[in-house]
Amino acid sequence: MFNFILINLYGTTLRLLIISGGTAFDYFFTISGDFIKIAVAYKANDYKFYVNGASLGAPVISLVPPMSAFAISDNIPATGTQSQSKTSQAILFKTRLSNSDLATLTTL
C-alpha cells in the first residue's frame, strides 16, 4: 500500500493531503505572503501543521504506517500548469519534532 504526504501550494491555497492506510485525509488552508515556511509533523494520533510560526490545526489520524513518499508540488489542479511559487528548501527529519521546534523553524 502506498502511503504519502503531499504539500501543494497554488495561489493562496495550501493543500495538505495525507494517504494513510488507504484512507485520504485532505486539508485546505488559505494563506498569504510572498515567503511561506511550512512544517508538517506526525506520529500516531499526533499530526501538526505549521505555517509561518502558527499552528494550522491538528487532525486526528491514529493509523500511521511507514510513509512511502513525501512530495512538494506547485502544480495548479485541473490545469496542468505550474504556479509561480518556488521551493527553496525541504528538510525531512526522521523523528517527530516538538511543537515549539515547528513554530521556531517556520517563524519568518
Give tens-digit pLDDT for 48-75.
888 889 888 766 666 666 776 777 766 6
Tell me the helix, strand and coil percentages in the chain, rounded to 5: 5, 40, 55
pLDDT computed for residue 23 by the predictor: 80
Q: Which three cell numbers stand for residue 73?
A: 508540488
pLDDT computed for residue 75 by the predictor: 60
Ranges of the chain with pLDDT below 50: none
Q: What is the mean pLDDT of the chain?
A: 77
Neighbours of 94 (CB within 10 A): 4
Domain regions of the chain by residue span: 4-106
pLDDT computed for residue 92 by the predictor: 79
Decide: 45 and 28 in contact? Cβ < 8 Å. Answer: no
Bridge partners of 10, per DSSP, are 13
